[in-house]
């Protein structure tokens, strides 16, 4: 249900989902070595709501940041929690805040309690006139925000899911390092997958249970057993990055042995079907179709990504293209009624004399197979 609401939000261009601080802490603990002396940009984040801003503001000194920049887009709905307070230029009853940026070059222990906490950050925002300034729109695509992007070393945020292709494209255009939240479906985008295949971006450590709870101003739709009040639960979210992390060098311990019976071949690709990442055979040197969740375990030293099963044969790996007549027949054979079974969209297996599509598959090869 939550995923349906997320998709509806994407259609309506409603992308105001706030990541939990605990999820940010869990992921970014693996990247600390990258931040020393760097300018960090959170360019989809209202500091009065964003836990990304809170994370970096509170750890500014620990991480030895050079600067923290945070921007908010015009019209962002804000509810105002820990950092809620009035400041000049905003009316108390104003339901939507204007676009603005916050730039921090130091965070001091203002209250003298021996540690930097939220009260110190709040004091900084209220009293340092050089920290806060108004933007025209705050849209990451605007020239004013592009100029901020040029100054940044690392971008860390939860960008709008509906604009994920465009957002990543901009990061790659300006050659920026980043750690961002996205849905795993983005792996299959024709704009994103080639970047993964060519080892220009990869997956981070991920969310616990491959799902996340987001704070959101939209309707609470979470229905799972681990439902959290006033939050939206979304399955399949993950982290995308191009910063080096230890997991990229951790090879899988393969324990399964190949056999024709257990690993059938596709009819339309010169590849075998491996339905679970854990079942990748250690002794097969040919092409294998694996689930997109394989990328959680992907080590480029161990495997080569060749492409994926998809409609347009973007990677030149198809051995057969099905006609409309074959797709109609396959639908009738499977469901007993008229329709179109899009066989060209994925790998196809022959089961009980019927053509059966499998789920989305990435096509890989083991770089160093071994015999028993």
**Residue 84: pLDDT over 80:** no
Give per-residue pLDDT as tens, 174-192. 999 999 999 999 999 999 9
Dist CA 178 CA 185 (whole Å):
19
User: Across residues 141-147, what is the average pLDDT?
Assistant: 94
Band (pLDDT 50/70/90 cuts) for residue 166 is very high
**Percent share of the chain, pLDDT over 70:** 82
Looking at the DSSP assignment, which residues form a beta bridge with residue 203?
240
Give the model's confidence band at 226: pLDDT under 50 very low, under 70 low, under 90 confident, else very high.
low
- The b/e string for 237-252 (b: 16+ C-beta within 10 A; e otherwise) is bbbbbbbebebbeeeb
Q: Give the residue with greater pLDDT, 235 vs 318.
A: 318
pLDDT of residue 10: 43
Mean pLDDT of 312-329: 96
Mind listing the pLDDT tens digit for each residue in 259-285?
Answer: 999 999 999 999 999 999 999 999 999
Q: Which of 69-78, 176-185, 315-324, 335-344 has the weakest average pLDDT?
A: 69-78
| Contact assessment for residue 343 and residue 325, using Cβ atoms and an 8 Å cutoff | no
Q: Residue 44: its pLDDT value, please?
A: 86
- Fill in the DSSP letter of residue 131: T
* H helix intervals, the chain: 2-11, 21-28, 51-58, 118-127, 143-151, 164-173, 193-197, 324-335
Whether the predicted pLDDT of 301 surpasses 60 = yes
Query: What confidence score (pLDDT) does residue 215 get?
Result: 60
pLDDT of 203 > 50? The answer is yes
Two tokens, residue 173: 């255009």
- C-alpha dist (Å) from residue 78 to 2, 10, 30, 119, 281: 21, 19, 30, 20, 51
Q: Using an 8 Å Cβ cutoff, are 19 and 52 in contact? A: yes
* The pLDDT value given to residue 85: 39
Place of tokens 């105001």: 16
| Least-confidence region, from 37-46, 80-89, 197-206 | 80-89
Task: Evaluate if residue 346 carries a pLDDT over 60.
Answer: yes
Contact 203, 295 (CB under 8 A): yes
Q: How confident is the model at residue 298 (pLDDT cuts 50, 70, 90)?
A: very high
More confident site: 195 or 216 = 195
Task: Compute the mean pLDDT over every residue in the chain, rounded to the nearest whole number.
Answer: 85
pLDDT of residue 208: 81
How many residues in the chain? 372
Q: Give CA–CA dist 35/45, Å, rounded.
A: 19
């Amino acid at each position: 249900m939550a995923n349906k609401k997320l998709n509806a939000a994407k259609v309506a261009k409603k992308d105001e989902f706030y990541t939990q601080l605990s999820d940010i802490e869990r992921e970014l603990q693996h990247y600390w070595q990258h931040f020393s002396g760097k300018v960090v940009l959170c360019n989809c984040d209202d500091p009065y709501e964003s836990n990304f801003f809170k994370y970096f503001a509170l750890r500014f000194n620990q991480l030895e940041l050079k600067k923290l920049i945070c921007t908010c887009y015009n019209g962002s709905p804000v509810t105002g929690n820990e950092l809620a307070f009035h400041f000049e230029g905003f009316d108390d009853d104003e339901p939507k805040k204007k676009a603005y940026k916050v730039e921090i070059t130091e965070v001091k222990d203002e209250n003298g309690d021996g540690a930097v906490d939220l009260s110190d950050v709040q004091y900084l925002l209220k009293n340092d006139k050089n920290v806060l300034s108004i933007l025209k729109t705050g849209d990451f695509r605007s020239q004013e925000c592009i100029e901020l992007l040029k100054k940044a070393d690392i971008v860390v945020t939860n960008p709008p899911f509906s604009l994920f292709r465009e957002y990543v494209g901009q990061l790659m255009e300006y050659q920026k390092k980043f750690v961002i939240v996205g849905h795993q479906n983005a792996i299959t985008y024709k704009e994103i997958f080639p970047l993964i295949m060519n080892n220009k971006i990869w997956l981070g450590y991920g969310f616990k249970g491959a799902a996340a709870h987001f704070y959101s101003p939209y309707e609470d739709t979470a229905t799972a057993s681990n439902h959290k009040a006033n939050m939206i639960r979304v399955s399949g979210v993950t982290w995308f990055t191009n910063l080096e992390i230890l997991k990229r060098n951790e090879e899988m311990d393969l324990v399964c042995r190949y056999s024709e019976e257990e690993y059938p071949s596709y009819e339309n690709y010169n590849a075998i079907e491996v339905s679970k990442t854990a079942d990748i055979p250690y002794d097969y040197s040919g092409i294998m179709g694996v689930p997109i969740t394989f990328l959680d375990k992907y080590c480029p030293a161990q495997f080569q990504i060749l492409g994926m099963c998809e409609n347009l044969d973007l990677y030149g790996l198809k051995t057969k293209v099905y006609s409309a007549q074959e797709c109609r027949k396959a639908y009738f054979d499977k469901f007993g009624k008229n329709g179109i079974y899009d066989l060209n969209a994925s790998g196809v297996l022959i089961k009980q004399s019927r053509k059966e599509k499998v789920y989305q598959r990435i096509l890989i090869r083991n770089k160093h197979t071994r015999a028993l």
